[in-house]
Structure 1
Amino acid sequence: MQATSSVVLLWLLLMAWSAAAQGNLTPGSVTRRIELGPNSSGEAVAVAVSPGLSTVFLFDSELEQAAVDVDTPMGFSIVDVGRMTLRVVPSAKIASGEKVRVSVRFRDGAAPPGASFLLTVHPAHADSLVEVFRSARTVESYQQEARDARAETLRCQEENSRLVSEHRTPGGLAGLLAVSGIDGTGVAGRIVTETVSSDPKSALKPFIVRSYRSKDRVALEVLLRDLRGEQPWTASGAALRGPHGLELKVLRVWQEAPIVSGGTGRVVIEAEATAESARGGFSLKLWEYDGPRTATIGNVAFP
C-alpha cells in the first residue's frame, strides 16, 4: 500500500510541476546541410559532437586525405578520413563544452579550396550526419530539406499542442486521466537502486533510483549525492538512451533545488515511451547548465 501511494504521489507532483518544468526535446534525425560558397571566408561552421557518438561528414567533392587536420586528435577515439567522407567519434577524454577545430582541403583546388568546422562537445547529443555542398546543390537535395523542415515544423506544432493541452487540463490524477496519460492498469513503479550502475567519472552518485511507467510515459526519480566540485549543480537536460541506440523523447527535467557540496538532491525526468519502447536497460545522462559536469547512470529498467 505504501509503494502504491508513492507512485501516485510522484505522478501527482509531475502534473503539478508541468507548468514550471524544463522541456528538453530529443533532436530529430534531420540531416545538417552546409553550403560552401566560392567566396567563403573560411569561418568555422559549428557542429555538435558527443563522446561515444558518431558524426559523419559527407562531401560532394574529393578530399585531400593527408591534409585533413584535427586540432586535438587525442580527444577522439575515431577519426576516419575517406575519399569523400570524414567520421569522428569523440572519446571520454574530451570535456563537455570543449571546441575542436577541424580543417579539410579539397583535391581539385577549385574555390573554396577547403573548409573548417568547429566541433562543439555536448554531453549527450550530436549532429549524426552533416552533408557539405561545395558546388551547386541538386533539386533533390532542396526537396529533401523541405521535407525535413515540414517534418520538424509538424513535430513542433504537435509538441506545442501537447503543452497547451496540458496547461488547460486539471492537475494531479485528474489531469492524467484528462490527457489519457493512464488507463485501467494505472501507474507501475519500481525501485531499481540495486541494479543500476554509476559511471565513476560522474559528478554525482545516485543513492536512490525509482522508475515509473504509465500508458505512454516513463519517469525516473533520482536522488544524488557526493558532488564533485564546490559550485552548486543544477540539471539542465537529460538523455535516455536504450538498446540499439534508441533514444526516448525527454519531456521534462525537474530538480527540487541545486545540489551543493556535501548535500543531496532529487531530479525527476519524464519521457515519452510505450510499453514496447521502454523495454531493456537504459542509460540516463544528466548535464548541468553552462558547465562540464555530468552524471551517468546505466542499466536503468522500467516496470
Structure 2
Amino acid sequence: MSQPARLVLTLVLVWGTATPVAAAQVERAVRKRSVVVASSPADALPVVRVARDTPTVFLFPAPINRKTLTFDESRIHVLDAGERSVIVQPVADLAEGERYEVGVFFADGRAPARAAFSLVTDPAEVDIQINVQRPELAGAACPVDEPRAPQPEDFVLLGLVDKEGVSATPIKGYADAGRGFHVQSAIAYRGKGWVLIDARVTNFSGQSPWLPREAMLTGRVGLPLRARIVMADTTAIQPGEERPVLVVADLPQLPVSPVFALELVGDGRTLKIPNVRFPKAASGATP
C-alpha cells in the first residue's frame, strides 16, 4: 500500500473510532470493497454504504479533477479531497430509500470520464474504503488518447463560467495588404478568468503558406500577455484560403482600459490586429 493510501486509511480509522457513543448505538460491520464505475450515463451507479459516525474514503486509479466534485452539501460532508482520493461522511444517517450522489471527473478525460456513486445507509454494514476501478470498454484493446466531447455542464464544473456567464463583442474587420492578410470578422469573448478571440483569417493569393505559431496580446499598460492558439486544422493556411483561428488567454482581471493589439507570429510573417476590445462582464445574471 502506498504511503498516501496508508495516511488516508489511518485518518479514516482515527475518525471512525472518535465517536464511541455513536458506535455503541449502531454497531455496523466495516467493509473495504472494490467497485467499478458506470460505463455510461444509462448504467446504474455503484452503491456505497455510508454512516454518520464513519468516514468513507474513495481511492481512485487515476488523478481526479477536484474542481468537478459534486455532492449535496446539506446532506454530505467532504472531509478531504486529494489528487486520487476523496473522504466523505453524511451529516446524518440516510433514511431507508434515501440516496445521494457523489461524482467527480477524472483528470485524463478518458472514458468513462466521470466516477459517480449512490450513497445509502445500511443498518448492518458501512464501507470505510472504496477502491475505485474503471471498466475496460468493449473494443478498446489498445488505449486511445481521444478526449471526451465537451458538454455544456463542463464549463461550470471546471469553473470557466460563473453567474456572470459569457459576454461577447465584435472586432472590426482588418486588412494588411502589405503582409498579405485580411481578417474578415472576429469576435472577442470573456468568461471567468479567461478571454478568447475567434478570428477568420484570409491568407492573400500570391503569398506563401502561413501557419500562426505564437500569439501575444499587448495592452497600453502592463506586460504583454502570452496566449495560446487553437486551430481545428493545424496545417498551414494556403494562399487564397480563409481559416478560423482561436486565441485564448488567462486574464483573471481585466484592465481599466481593456484595449489590446493581437500579434500572431507565423512562418516569415506576423499578423497584427489592432483595437481588440474585450467586453465587460455580463450583467444579466442575479445572485
Question: Same fold, TM exceeding 0.5?
Answer: no
TM bracket, shorter-chain basis: 0.3 to 0.5
Normalized per residue, the structure richer in helix is 1
Which structure's CA Rg is the greater one? 2
Q: TM-score, normalised by structure 2?
A: 0.42
Normalized per residue, the structure richer in strand is 2
Q: TM-score, normalised by structure 1?
A: 0.40
Q: Using CA pairs under 8 Å that are at least 6 residues apart, name the structure with larger relative contact order, 1 or 2.
A: 1
